[in-house]
Amino acid sequence: MEWSDKQPIYRQLRDLVVERIMDGTFAEGEAVPSVRQVATDYQINHLTVGKAYQELVDSGLLEKRRGLGMYVTVGARANLTADERGRFYAEEVPAFAERVRALGLDMQDVAAALLQQGDKS
């Protein structure tokens, strides 16, 4: 893993864990790697990992089980998907629509092209 200077490492790690929950690598109800293991694997400070994990606990995506470690909460993936959909409609769609307008494209033509792309997958 290469860390970017544009964002704190703990946020990048948090985003990585979120991505792994979304893609099913970290399944609901299953343990995530320990703070020490992640710190060793990525050669980062264990406090950095702890901060990332604490943000995930605070947002309800991970839960601490005393003496056992951190686990992905049941419903985490559905919550993330709902959040990402909301963010998509609130942020990405308006930016996309603005780009379409700036390029002078017809929204109906763009919609038709998007539907064609959807048919291919």
On the 0-12 / 13-18 / 19+ scale of CB atoms within 10 A, 86 is: exposed
- The answer to whether 17 and 76 are in contact (CB under 8 A) is no
Q: What pLDDT score was predicted for residue 121?
A: 65
Which residues of the chain fall below pLDDT 70?
121
> Which two structure tokens, joined as six digits, stand for 55?
């943000």
Q: What pLDDT score was predicted for residue 106?
A: 94
Q: What is the pLDDT of residues 41-71, one digit of tens each?
A: 999 999 999 999 999 999 999 999 999 999 9
Q: What pLDDT score was predicted for residue 83?
A: 87
Mention the CATH class of domain 9-74. Answer: mainly alpha
How do the domains of the chain map onto residue ranges?
A: 9-74, 77-120
